């Protein structure tokens, strides 16, 4: 199975978890210019812009954060008091929600990658939904 197909399946899995927990969910489809995230989820006046990343070998490589994601997530958080921007990282031990603020901090600290042990300090998607 190729990476694109695995990634699409993971995005669908994340969307289904959100939907099953009462979120209105829409998957953003790829376009020529590229979308800045995979999912918009809304529940109880809370709006979340989420990018789902499946992490092979339980490692997330920071280079996978694209320039358009940096721009969109930064802009969203500057212009909205209620919106959330985050990444959902699929590791073997769970699906972890890592906020855009945390990702920015890691980029500022020149972190190139991190593993599932680091992710385990964050809330899982299932916990985040509650």
Q: Collapsing DSSP states into helix, strand and coil, what is residue 21?
A: coil
Q: Which of 98, 62, 79, 21 is nearest to 13 (CA)?
A: 21
* Domain locations in the chain as residue ranges: 3-128
The per-residue pLDDT for 77 is 85
Enumerate the H helices of the chain as residue ranges: 3-20, 67-79, 100-108, 116-119, 125-128
* CATH number of this structure's domain 3-128, picked from the four choices 3.20.20.210, 3.40.50.2300, 3.40.1350.10, 3.10.350.10: 3.40.1350.10
Tens of each residue's pLDDT in the chain, 130 residues? 678 889 999 999 999 999 999 999 999 876 556 678 999 999 998 999 999 999 989 999 999 999 999 999 999 988 988 899 999 999 999 999 999 999 999 999 999 999 999 999 999 999 999 8
The per-residue pLDDT for 22 is 97
């Amino acid at each position: 199975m190729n990476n694109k197909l695995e990634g699409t399946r993971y995005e669908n899995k994340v969307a289904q978890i959100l939907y099953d927990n009462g979120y209105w969910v829409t998957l953003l489809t790829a376009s020529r210019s590229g979308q800045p995230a995979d999912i918009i989820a809304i529940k109880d006046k809370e709006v979340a812009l989420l990018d789902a990343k499946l992490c092979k070998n339980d490692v997330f490589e920071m280079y996978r954060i694209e320039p358009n994601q940096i721009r969109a997530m930064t802009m969203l958080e500057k212009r909205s008091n209620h919106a959330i921007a985050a990444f959902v990282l699929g590791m073997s031990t769970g699906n972890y929600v890592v906020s855009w603020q945390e990702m920015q901090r890691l980029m500022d600290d020149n972190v190139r990658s991190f593993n599932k042990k680091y992710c385990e300090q964050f809330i899982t998607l299932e916990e985040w939904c509650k």
